[in-house]
Amino acid sequence: MSPRRLLSISANPGLLLTRNDLLAVAGYSVASPRHPEDAALLFSKDHFNAVLIGDSVVPRLRAQIIHELRQMRPGIPIIYVYADARYASEPLADDCVDVTGTPEPLLNAIEAQLNRALPRAA
């Protein structure tokens, strides 16, 4: 079975690299656009199982990206990751995760969203 593919979006290249390395070590295949504005283009060209979008993406752009991705695939799990408690909420995301501590909360949230998105057997 191939690794599950994640689209990881951030406006902070250093944090993005760290997060993507952590996810790769955990067994995920991760891709990121060079600029957050290019997320929809990358999303349209590849299959992703879930999306992570960081608090470094300004709110208006974040909302636009989430809207564009949901237009293409309405059921795609989107997880908002934040390091600053002042920005701990993103109502358009399926889950919000504080990434300032250990990686377990993020990994648990990803697995929970991926399991939720799996088709159910009849």
Query: All domains of the chain, ordered by start, with CATH?
Result: 5-117 (3.40.50.2300)
pTM value surpassing 0.85 = yes
Do 92 and 99 touch, CB atoms closer than 8 A? no
Structure tokens given for 33: 């656009």
Q: In the prediction, which pLDDT does 38 show?
A: 97
Distance CA 7, CA 51 (A): 5
pLDDT mean by block of 10 residues, the chain; 122 residues: 87 94 96 96 96 96 97 96 89 94 94 80 42
Residue 91's Cβ-side half-sphere holds a number of Cα atoms within 13 Å equal to 1
